[in-house]
Amino acid sequence: MSKGRDRADARRIVEQQKAAERRRRVTIWTSVAVVAVLLVAGVIGWGVLAGQEKTGADNLTTPSAAVDGGTAFPVGSGPVVVDLYEDFMCPVCDQFETQTGATIKQLLSEKKITVRYHPVSILDRASNGTQYSTRAAGAAAAAAVAGKFVEYHDVLYANQPAEGSDGLTDARLIELGRSVGLGDAFATAVDDRTYDAWVTKVTETFSARGYTGTPTIVVAGKRVEGPNRTLPTTAVFTQAVNQATG
Amino acid sequence: MDVREQSARGAAVWPWISTVARLGLAAVFLTAGGLKVTDLAASARAVNAYRLTSYDTAKVIGAVQPFLEIALGLLVLVGLAVRLSAAVAAAVLVIFMAGIVWAWARGLRIDCGCFSEGGELAGGRTAQYGWDLLRDAGFLILAGILLVKPRTRWSLDGFLLGARR
């Protein structure tokens, strides 16, 4: 009787050991699986990035009119350089154009400043997947090649779509181009998205310089902002230009 | 007797609490990763906005991070090596919180990029660092529950052990 009990005890102990062993094995292998899955996910992310970079580099067409490492369009010939980083979808940029645009035009005609326009696309997410920021900036590059950047820039802001809407269609972008005298070469570039990869490069240059929001206004290498990092008033902007003029 | 009864009841209830925590944590990571994965350039800019690394490094982090978040979310969802997955999730959350504290301390005015592509805030909007931290702390509690009580219902762990727990 006691022998039978011993045997039952022994069997139970063996089974417990087996179960513990099994648990240990499962824990080890599931842990290995977790690490493997995370590594694979990381490598996929890396691969997707590398693929996107390669596609971007392959499709890069730098517009002939661009300066500053091929990332900006210069307007005017004044001594003070004003760098304007704008997104065509950005309402605050429109506000700046409405508020200070006339002053900029005047300073340009007085040959006090050279404006370098950097059309960036940081608001692609705000157009329901149509990437309006990139398309509009790419179209502006095509306009610059045809020598009509400022005209097209102004008409785009005059017709700015609401942030979060689909944005303007390619057809509408071309139509607006025609309204300022742009021709078939422009239309083809918009349809083919010739300068989209270039817009990505401009945006990366913008980020690499440590800028994160639009509009970013830089006068003679110094960022101009209102109090509390708000949009500078025209007075603040003009003062910065005058200071730089010396 | 009383104590044992109580602990028996606790043993029955904990797997359910942990299951809820597990599914919640999975939803958090899947949402966070899913919102970022469609625009890796924006994700890179969000990382860059913290000004912790060079832009090139931020680009790699920005690309890898959403994929890691989704993978982690899936692992937690199916319940594979729950304790380890929860530990990784907790570590990731602590890193995120450290990032937010860093941005706060340096006076950067950025969207944390937790559930969006983030970036610098436009004039007039203020950063919600306090709320972001509080929310992350809530997620950290979910991960903590799983660290302490990793046994859950409908988990791959349970299935592999062949045990009805």
Tell whether A64 is covered by a domain: no
Identify the domain boundary among A59, A82, A101: A59
How far apart CA B142 and CA B25 sit, in angstroms, is 6
For the stretch B56-60, contacts whose Cβ atoms lie closer than 8 Å and that sit 24 or more positions apart, written own/partner, are: B56/A208, B58/A207, B59/A49, B59/A204, B60/A46, B60/A49
Tell whether A163 is covered by a domain: yes
Residues of A in contact with B157 (CB under 8 A): 26, 30
Interval A48-95: pLDDT, tens: 999 999 999 999 999 999 999 999 999 999 999 999 999 999 999 999
Q: Name the β-bridge partners of A73.
A: A117
Q: Are residues A81 and A50 in the same domain?
A: no
Contact B50, B95 (CB under 8 A): no
Does a cis peptide bond (omega within 30 degrees of 0) precede residue A215? Answer: yes
Tell whether B144 is covered by a domain: yes
Q: Are residues A49 and A87 in the same domain?
A: no
Tell whether A34 is covered by a domain: yes
- Domain interval for residue B97: 7-154
Answer yes or no: is the ipTM higher than 0.95: no
Residue B74 touches partner A, C-beta closer than 8 Å: yes
Kindly determine whether residue B68 and residue A38, on different chains, have CB atoms separated by under 8 Å.
yes
How far apart CA A158 and CA A141 sit, in angstroms, is 18
Identify the domain boundary among A35, A59, A83: A59
Residues of B in contact with A27 (CB under 8 A): 81
Interval A105-122: pLDDT, tens: 999 999 999 999 999 999
How far apart CA A74 and CA A155 sit, in angstroms, is 18
Tell whether B19 is covered by a domain: yes
Kindly determine whether residue B65 and residue A226, on different chains, have CB atoms separated by under 8 Å.
no
Interface probe, candidates B37, B38, B67, B159, chain A, greatest A C-beta count within 10 A: B67
Q: Which pLDDT tens digits describe chain B residue by residue (165 residues)?
A: 455 666 677 678 999 999 999 999 999 999 999 999 988 999 999 999 888 999 999 999 999 999 999 999 999 999 999 999 999 999 999 999 999 999 999 888 777 767 666 666 655 556 788 899 999 999 999 999 999 999 999 999 999 987 544
Question: How many domains, chain A?
Answer: 2
The two structure tokens encoding residue B43: 């994700």
Q: Are residues A55 and A79 in the same domain?
A: no
Tell whether A66 is covered by a domain: no
Identify the domain boundary among A12, A27, A59: A59
Q: In what order do the strands lie in the sheet with A73-75?
A: A73-75, A113-119, A80-86, A216-219, A222-223
Tell whether B162 is covered by a domain: no
Tell whether B165 is covered by a domain: no
The two structure tokens encoding residue B133: 């931290």
Q: Are residues A116 and A229 in the same domain?
A: yes
- Domain interval for residue A22: 1-59
Q: Are residues A134 and A239 in the same domain?
A: yes
Tokens 């729950």 belong to residue: B82
Question: How many domains, chain B?
Answer: 1
Contact A86, A214 (CB under 8 A): yes
Tell whether A68 is covered by a domain: no
Kindly determine whether residue A125 and residue B39, on different chains, have CB atoms separated by under 8 Å.
yes
Tell whether B20 is covered by a domain: yes
Give the DSSP letter string of B104-161.
Answer: HHTT--EE--SSS--EEPPTT----HHHHHHHHHHHHHHHHHHHH----TT-HHHHHH
A22 to each of A64, A150, B49, B155, B161, how far by Cα in Å? 68, 73, 48, 17, 7
Tokens 């002053």 belong to residue: A103
Contact A143, A123 (CB under 8 A): no
Whichever domain contains A209, its CATH number is 3.40.30.10
Q: Are residues A124 and A188 in the same domain?
A: yes
Tell whether B160 is covered by a domain: no
Q: Are residues A187 and A100 in the same domain?
A: yes
Burial class (CB in 10 A: 0-12, 13-18, 19+), B98: exposed
